[in-house]
Amino acid sequence: MRILRSVVEMQREAERLRLAGRTIGFVPTMGYLHAGHMSLVEHAKSATDVVILSIFVNPTQFGPSEDFAKYPRDFDKDRALAERAGVEILFHPANDEMYGNGFGTYVEEQASSRILEGMIRPGHFRGVTTVVAKLFNICKPHVAVFGQKDVQQAFIVKKMVRDLNLDVSVLVAPIARETDGLAMSSRNVYLTKQERSEAIALFQSLTMAQEKIKMGEQNAVRLRQEMESLIRSKGSPTIDYIAFVDPESFQEIDTVTGSTVLVAVAARYGTTRLIDNVLVEVR
Amino acid sequence: MRILRSVVEMQREAERLRLAGRTIGFVPTMGYLHAGHMSLVEHAKSATDVVILSIFVNPTQFGPSEDFAKYPRDFDKDRALAERAGVEILFHPANDEMYGNGFGTYVEEQASSRILEGMIRPGHFRGVTTVVAKLFNICKPHVAVFGQKDVQQAFIVKKMVRDLNLDVSVLVAPIARETDGLAMSSRNVYLTKQERSEAIALFQSLTMAQEKIKMGEQNAVRLRQEMESLIRSKGSPTIDYIAFVDPESFQEIDTVTGSTVLVAVAARYGTTRLIDNVLVEVR
């Protein structure tokens, strides 16, 4: 596995691979890799010839009061995991390499970026779309793989790809979970033992909502109340949202009428913010 | 010369050219081609193997009260001129092909886009950077050629390319002028005979400023007054700005101190808005 830290070198290498007729799969990450990331690499490997994985904790997608500085980092461990997973090139640029002097051009999706995560974290998706556009221009992938856990991010990236005619196929891989159902996340390491056990309620509430929807419940207001009760019966997080979303338009709905509905939850246990979701096939 | 109207076909063709090892030169235009555009094609030809020219009157760079609907169009003449100039592929998409249903992702440079043209035409440069990013993703050029007449546009496009790591070299070609000095522009056809003769004063005022700067004048306020007097002595346009700009930072200056200064003017003769500029080597 090669490690590249320079934008120009990475572009040159990506161009060389393309000219040699090899297809590039790309997995953008912020590092602190876990089994969820590894499953993204597996998806990329099965779709392309060469996998590039990037590790870059992107400052522009963190708000001023968020956890950019303390976001967990462990490059040596990440390098070992990436190598073992079959990553061919690890792209690991410094902040200055990505955001040089006078940086000032942003990519912004202006509809779906404003609700849910975008409402709670103003500017977050502008940072995401900007860095993903940059990484696509640097790594030149044929296929890029994102995780379903960040479902709004995946939707917005796909929208950006369509709107800006980026010639990249975006794959979305299922959520990897711990054995008790908690969605894997680099941020899980922040949780105290107590919070860790309380947080299982997020997935449990999603599973409950899924069962009720499949049994015919259409009232999102009632479902939300039941999910909230379940979550609060196990702990006392700050719930940022419990949302029912049309996965085609990414608009919130009050009544489940379509053939699929996305149920998404975001909650803070202490200072740790967790998100999770489930895509329900209604019929 | 082939004419392509589909984004996917254009992308496929560009990819095929790249894989065949041919370098692509790209000249984005809004059509109604004149000798200025032809000189951009010449620059592209001398730098690359294949020239793609796009004709697309981009709605997102026009303000609501601007001339999008009446912008001059003559596709048959453009096609003949492009073919004669040695363009290999003419990309001519419909509006719907470029801005499909639910379009909503923009590329925005947030510093230089706000002064001069950006101040007079809010949103203009957001439309320019968005469509140029799209066209780059569609036509996949190695080299793209822009005109010095739209000097602020060229600066902002180069900044976008740098900020978003677009792997494209941007060339800027000199202003093509009529024999009396008027900068060539598709909008010149709007001018009445009277306005056409008055408008020569724009270039004359730039030439005067250039001579005075070379002779040691450093006071931009005085230079601006003298330029305005000259322009008003020949006609009565609305002058949007007369600006002295550091070409490195694209910031306005009051005193000419650097080794080069850009002098730029924008004025409206009747309903026709003209821009022109000259880059002065001070010493």
Kindly tell me if the per-residue pLDDT of A46 is higher than 90. Answer: yes
pLDDT of residue A44: 98
Domain boundary among B173, B208, B239: B173
Query: Residue A256 corresponds to which tokens in the numbers above?
Result: 């489940």
Given an 8 Å threshold on Cβ–Cβ distance, is B134 in contact with A165?
yes
Q: Do residues A160 and A222 both lie within one domain? A: no
Mutate to test the interface with A, among B19, B164, B246 (most CBs of A within 10 A): B164
Q: Do residues B115 and B221 both lie within one domain? A: no
> What does the pLDDT look like over A170-197, one tens digit per residue?
999 999 999 999 999 999 999 999 999 9
Largest Cα span, chain A: 58
Q: Do residues B95 and B225 both lie within one domain? A: no
CA–CA separation, A223 and A230 (whole Å): 11
Given an 8 Å threshold on Cβ–Cβ distance, is B111 in contact with A130?
no
Give the pLDDT band (50/70/90) at residue A283. confident
CA–CA separation, A209 and A94 (whole Å): 42
Q: Do residues A159 and A137 both lie within one domain? A: yes
CA–CA separation, A27 and A55 (whole Å): 9
Q: Which CATH number is B253's domain given?
A: 3.30.1300.10
pLDDT of residue B283: 76
Mutate to test the interface with A, among B128, B163, B166 (most CBs of A within 10 A): B163
CA–CA separation, B162 and A165 (whole Å): 19
For residue A254, CA distances in Å to A246, A251, B102 come to 10, 10, 22
Q: Tell me, yes or no, if A18 comes closer than 8 A to chain B by beta carbon.
A: yes
> What does the pLDDT look like over A114-153, one tens digit per residue?
999 999 999 999 999 999 999 999 999 999 999 999 999 9
Q: Tell me, yes or no, if A19 comes closer than 8 A to chain B by beta carbon.
A: yes
Specify the pTM.
0.97
Q: Can you spell out the DSSP letters for A18-66?
A: HHTT--EEEEEE-S---HHHHHHHHHHHHH-SEEEEEE---GGGS-TTS
Q: Tell me, yes or no, if B100 comes closer than 8 A to chain A by beta carbon.
A: yes
Tell me, yes or no, whether A179 lies in a domain: no
Q: Do residues B11 and B113 both lie within one domain? A: yes
How is residue B279 annotated by DSSP?
E
Helix (H) or strand (E) holding B251: strand B251-252
Given an 8 Å threshold on Cβ–Cβ distance, is A11 in contact with B130?
no
Tell me, yes or no, whether B106 lies in a domain: yes
Tell me, yes or no, whether B179 lies in a domain: no
Q: Which CATH number is B88's domain given?
A: 3.40.50.620
Given an 8 Å threshold on Cβ–Cβ distance, is B137 in contact with A166?
yes
pLDDT of residue B26: 99
Q: Which of A149, A233, A236 is nearest to A195 (CA)?
A: A236
pLDDT of residue B140: 98
CA–CA separation, A217 and A210 (whole Å): 9
Tell me, yes or no, whether B28 lies in a domain: yes
Tell me, yes or no, whether A180 lies in a domain: no
CA–CA separation, B152 and B143 (whole Å): 19
Average pLDDT over residues A251-274: 96
Q: Does ipTM surpass 0.90 in this model?
A: yes
Q: Do residues B106 and B166 both lie within one domain? A: yes
Q: Do residues A150 and A35 both lie within one domain? A: yes
Q: Do residues B54 and B160 both lie within one domain? A: yes
The residue behind tokens 């677009």 is: B166
- pLDDT tens for each residue of chain B, 283 residues long: 999 999 999 999 999 999 999 999 999 999 999 999 999 999 999 999 999 999 999 999 999 999 999 999 999 999 999 999 999 999 999 999 999 989 999 999 999 999 999 999 999 999 999 999 999 999 999 999 999 999 999 999 999 999 999 999 999 999 999 999 999 999 999 999 999 999 999 999 999 999 999 999 999 999 999 999 999 999 999 999 999 999 999 999 999 998 999 999 999 999 999 999 999 999 7
* CB-based contact A146:A175 (threshold 8 Å): no
Q: Tell me, yes or no, if B215 comes closer than 8 A to chain A by beta carbon.
A: no
Q: Tell me, yes or no, if B7 comes closer than 8 A to chain A by beta carbon.
A: yes
Q: Which of B36, B70, B7, B50 is nearest to B150 (CA)?
A: B36
Q: Is B142 a catalytic residue?
A: no
Q: Which one is predicted more confidently, A101 or B137?
A: B137
Q: Which of B167, B170, B175 is nearest to B206 (CA)?
A: B175
Q: Do residues A146 and A190 both lie within one domain? A: no
pLDDT of residue B197: 97
Tell me, yes or no, whether B178 lies in a domain: no
Domain boundary among A173, A207, A239: A173
Given an 8 Å threshold on Cβ–Cβ distance, is B165 in contact with A106?
no
For residue B131, CA distances in Å to B60, B89, B253 come to 8, 18, 30
Give how many domains chain B has, as a whole number: 2
Tell me, yes or no, whether A30 lies in a domain: yes
Sheet strands (E) in B110-247? 143-147, 169-173, 238-246
Q: Which of A169, A167, A137 is nearest to B8 (CA)?
A: A167
List of residues 6+ apart from A232 with CB closer than 8 A: none
Q: Do residues B108 and B6 both lie within one domain? A: yes
How many C-beta atoms surround the C-beta of residue A231 within 10 A?
Answer: 22
For residue A171, CA distances in Å to A42, A158, B52 come to 12, 9, 31
Q: Do residues B92 and B128 both lie within one domain? A: yes
Tell me, yes or no, whether B180 lies in a domain: no
Decide: residue B257, CB within 10 A, 0-12 exposed, 13-18 middle, 19+ buried.
exposed
Q: Which domain holds residue A213?
A: 186-281
Kindly tell me if the per-residue pLDDT of A38 is higher than 80. Answer: yes
How many C-beta atoms surround the C-beta of residue B238 within 10 A?
Answer: 10
* CB-based contact B48:B27 (threshold 8 Å): no
CA–CA separation, B28 and B70 (whole Å): 20
How is residue B254 annotated by DSSP?
S
- Average pLDDT over chain A reads 97
Burial B97-135 (b: 16+ CB within 10 A, else e): bbbeeebbbbbbbebbbebbbbeebebbbbbbbbbbbbb
Query: How many CB pairs lie under 8 A apart between chains A and B?
Result: 86
CA–CA separation, A83 and B98 (whole Å): 41
* CB-based contact B140:B4 (threshold 8 Å): no
Domain boundary among B148, B173, B198: B173
Q: Do residues B143 and B85 both lie within one domain? A: yes
Average pLDDT over residues A6-12: 98
CA–CA separation, A226 and A184 (whole Å): 24
